[in-house]
Structure 1
């Protein structure tokens, strides 16, 4: 088979390499063309060097091109994969820093909450530009696979306003299933069957079966509390499991910032998080991790290039959905996964215009979703709170309506638990002004926002958060990796 796959934001080097090698695990895809595009010429050349090394070592006919000209990369593409982070780490730092001045302590800040909403404002206009190019120059009927966060907002905009055949992809369900299989003592995840449904990052394991035996709430709670690691790392998730009756897919740190109850008071935050790794609730944890990863890659690039000279091993193919979807669509080998699409009857007790994440099957006829699922009422209520925020955020990003943007932030569960309306109005003004270069739709609103900020009486504070860690130096990272190797 010969067709073209375009990857936008291909400078996300590690993730691009994973997608690339996954796809090449499919024997029929040896002749595929990969067109890489990114704003950074430097990053493009680094990832192209790595992928060229993979192709050369494995003696494949695969073609890899790289260009900063997005339309050239998209021309004739059958599949388009987005991994973009508009504004990079510079804008992302403001997503964490500015809300902290108003008492809002986020672990990740890329889905909802103040940071995730502003992230969506930067991404959505760019996503719609992608859609315009796809419709104009890609292969007719091209499929857009969105990996970029905020997942639901980006996918919502691409489907509703971009009018492109879009599916949002995430690996949260797979990671949650791995944990459940482990605590229940399964020899492999294949012994675990489940129905997992909800919205991205708030998806719920509403039916669990281990070797055909139904697993109830009490058994699952006991299994997690008995686990020597997860009982400490996932305290908040276990508490939600006890109260809601079902396990959430999302990490302890992520889940903590989607709910109004666990990060509302600084002295409560440390009770529910674990500092053994950023993902369990550290303040600004993903920002620190992303910064360290970028610095490490830039310093240790020769090692990454050398490690690319290895055989592609289908047994090590990852559980990222993209390669499996392409394989099913092109070869008719059926694949079951969890996909982000417009609801339209998939989940009966969520709004029909929402982007939901739920089970589906892929074959030559497309992505076929299982319909008629009903969530437990508590899970539905939590999802609906986020959906209302997402809807307003998408419409604000498209219209450039700063008042609607403020209402979206005001209705966010954690923001509402921490901040007053007056504080929210000032915080949004401050974030829009700080990120103005990435928010062209708000250009007309920026002068008035600056004027309001110059006269504001809302008090703020310089606060690092309840559980902040400093970015580690390359030397510190190197020493840690050496110590881990020695321990093994």
Structure 2
């Protein structure tokens, strides 16, 4: 087979390498072309060198090109994969820093909440530019695979406004299933069968079967509470499981910022989180992790390049959906996964226009979703709160309506639990002004926002959050990795 895959935001080096090696684990795909594009020439050249080394080491006919000219990369592409972070870590730092001034403590801030909503405002105009290019220069009927957060908002914009065949992809379901299999004592993940449905990052394991035996709430609660690690790392998730009756796919830290109950009081936050790793609820944890990862890659790049010379190991193909979807579409080997698509009747008690995440099967006829799923009422209610925020956020991003943007932030569950309307109005003004260079749709609103900020009487605070850690130096990271290696 010979076709072209374009990867936008390919400077996300580690993730691009994973997608690349996964796809090359499929024997029929050795003769395809990867077109890498990014706004950073520096990052592009680093990842191209790594991928070229993999191709050379494995004596493959695979072609790899790299360009900052996005349209050139998209020309003739059958598949387009996006893993972009518009504004980079600079804008992301504002997504965490500014809400903290108003008492809003986020762990990740890339899905909803104040940070995730502004992240969507930066991404959506760019996503629509991608869609325009795909329609104009890619292969007719090209499929757009979006990995970028905020997943639901980006996918919603691409489908509703971009008019491109789009699917959103995430690995939260797989990771949650791995945890469940472990606590239940499964010998392999294949022993666990499940139906997981909801919206991205709020997906629920509504049916669990271990070797055909149905697993109920009480058994699952007991298994998690008995686990020596998860009982401490996933306290909030276990509490939600006890109250809702089903387990959420999302990590302790992520889930905590989508709900109005666990992060609204600083003295309560530390009760529900765990500081053993960023993902369990640390304030700005993913920002710290991302910053350290970038610094580590820049410093240790020669080691990454050397590692690329090793032969491909097909057994290490990851469970990221992209390679499996492409394999199913091109070879007709059926794949079952969980995909983000427009609802349209798939989940009966969520809105038709929402982007949902639910089970589907892929073959040469496309992605075929299992329809007629009904969520438990509490799960649906929690999803609905986020969907309403997502819908307003998408429409605000497309129209540049700053008043609608403020209403979207006001209706966010955690923001609403912490902040007053006056605080929300000022916070959004401050975030739009700080990120104006990435928000072209709000250009006309920025002068008035600046004027309001100059006269505002709303008090803010200098607060690092309830559980903030500093970014570690390369020396500290190296010492920690050495210690872990020696201990392991």
* Counterpart secondary structure, 2:447: helix
Q: Please state how far the C-alpha of 1:418 moved relative to its aligned partner.
A: 0.1
Cα deviation code 1:241-296 (max 9, x no counterpart): 00000000000000000000000000000000000000000000000000000000
Structure 1 unaligned blocks of 5 or more: none
Cα deviation code 1:411-458 (max 9, x no counterpart): 000000000000000000000000000000000000000000000000
Q: Please state how far the C-alpha of 1:123 moved relative to its aligned partner.
A: 0.1
Q: Please state how far the C-alpha of 1:74 moved relative to its aligned partner.
A: 0.1
- Partner residue in 1 for 2:79: 79
* Counterpart secondary structure, 2:444: coil
**2: CA distance between counterparts of 1:143 and 1:32?**
16
Q: Please state how far the C-alpha of 1:81 moved relative to its aligned partner.
A: 0.1
**2: CA distance between counterparts of 1:337 and 1:406?**
35
Cα deviation code 1:135-170 (max 9, x no counterpart): 000000000000000000000000000000000000
**2: CA distance between counterparts of 1:79 and 1:172?**
23
**2: CA distance between counterparts of 1:423 and 1:145?**
37
**2: CA distance between counterparts of 1:163 and 1:301?**
39
Q: Please state how far the C-alpha of 1:402 moved relative to its aligned partner.
A: 0.1
Q: Please state how far the C-alpha of 1:313 moved relative to its aligned partner.
A: 1.1
Q: Please state how far the C-alpha of 1:213 moved relative to its aligned partner.
A: 0.1
Taking the TM superposition and a 5 Å limit, the aligned residue runs for 1:269-348 are 269-348=269-348
Cα deviation code 1:29-62 (max 9, x no counterpart): 0001000000000000000000000000000000
- Partner residue in 2 for 1:121: 121
**2: CA distance between counterparts of 1:188 and 1:306?**
32
**2: CA distance between counterparts of 1:484 and 1:423?**
44
**2: CA distance between counterparts of 1:148 and 1:49?**
23
* Counterpart secondary structure, 1:170: coil
Q: Please state how far the C-alpha of 1:194 moved relative to its aligned partner.
A: 0.2
**2: CA distance between counterparts of 1:31 and 1:161?**
34
- Partner residue in 2 for 1:443: 443
**2: CA distance between counterparts of 1:209 and 1:300?**
43
Q: Please state how far the C-alpha of 1:484 moved relative to its aligned partner.
A: 0.7
* Counterpart secondary structure, 2:469: coil
* Counterpart secondary structure, 1:197: strand
Q: Please state how far the C-alpha of 1:379 moved relative to its aligned partner.
A: 0.1
Cα deviation code 1:82-112 (max 9, x no counterpart): 0000000000000000000000000000000
**1: CA distance between counterparts of 2:209 and 2:93?**
42
Q: Please state how far the C-alpha of 1:314 moved relative to its aligned partner.
A: 1.1
**2: CA distance between counterparts of 1:476 and 1:4?**
41
**2: CA distance between counterparts of 1:354 and 1:482?**
46
- Partner residue in 2 for 1:234: 234
Question: Normalising by structure 1, what TM-score?
Answer: 1.00
Cα deviation code 1:368-424 (max 9, x no counterpart): 000000000000000000000000000000000000000000000000000000000
Taking the TM superposition and a 5 Å limit, the aligned residue runs for 1:15-414 are 15-414=15-414
**1: CA distance between counterparts of 2:201 and 2:439?**
25
Q: Please state how far the C-alpha of 1:342 moved relative to its aligned partner.
A: 0.1
**2: CA distance between counterparts of 1:461 and 1:375?**
40
Q: Please state how far the C-alpha of 1:223 moved relative to its aligned partner.
A: 0.0
Q: Please state how far the C-alpha of 1:351 moved relative to its aligned partner.
A: 0.3
**2: CA distance between counterparts of 1:485 and 1:459?**
48
**1: CA distance between counterparts of 2:31 and 2:246?**
44
Q: Please state how far the C-alpha of 1:311 moved relative to its aligned partner.
A: 1.1
* Counterpart secondary structure, 1:108: coil
Matched positions, count = 488
**2: CA distance between counterparts of 1:314 and 1:377?**
42
* Counterpart secondary structure, 1:159: helix
Question: Normalising by structure 2, what TM-score?
Answer: 1.00
**1: CA distance between counterparts of 2:200 and 2:394?**
15
**2: CA distance between counterparts of 1:385 and 1:372?**
21
Q: Please state how far the C-alpha of 1:134 moved relative to its aligned partner.
A: 0.1
**2: CA distance between counterparts of 1:479 and 1:174?**
31
* Counterpart secondary structure, 2:479: helix
**2: CA distance between counterparts of 1:347 and 1:271?**
34
**1: CA distance between counterparts of 2:462 and 2:307?**
43
